[in-house]
Amino acid sequence: MPLGRGSGKRMKGKTAIIGDGDSILVFKAIGMDAYSAASPEKARELLHTLSKEYQIIYVTDVLAKEIDDTISRFVESPYPVVIPVPSMNGSNGYGFEILKRETERALGIDILSQEEKKNEQ
């Protein structure tokens, strides 16, 4: 089992979601730990707190975009993995932006935009 971030404690593969009340209800219904955040400040606070206990933290993309500076701090750490997901109102494209940015950083080339262009033709 992977080690937690510098704590010396083992994480148990726990998963959580942070988002607005309506968007997290589905996740709560399937047994995931769900945390409501009505503001970016609350989302930042929750992310810092939950990062000590959870391996995977989903954040609804509307909130994730507003706390991008905080999420970016976790990119180099093995845990937690912070994943933006669409809210109940649909996606704002932030999740794709993150995937594109990190793929380009890892590979040195923007392959996702090239795929978009192929699909448009």
Contact indicator for 27, 34 with CB cutoff of 8 Å: yes
**pTM of the shown model:** 0.77
Q: What's the CA angle centered on 101, arms 23 and 16, to 5 degrees?
A: 30
pLDDT in tens, 2-31: 333 444 444 457 999 999 888 999 999 999
pLDDT, position 95: 86
Please give the class, per CATH, of domain 15-90. alpha beta
> Domain residue spans in the chain?
15-90
Q: Is the peptide bond before 40 cis (omega within 30 degrees of 0)?
A: no
Q: Is the pLDDT of residue 88 over 60?
A: yes
Confidence band of 114 (pLDDT split at 50, 70, 90): low
Buried b (16+ CB within 10 A) or exposed e, 57-74: bbbbbbbbbbbeebbeeb
Q: Stretch 59-71: mean pLDDT, rounded? A: 94
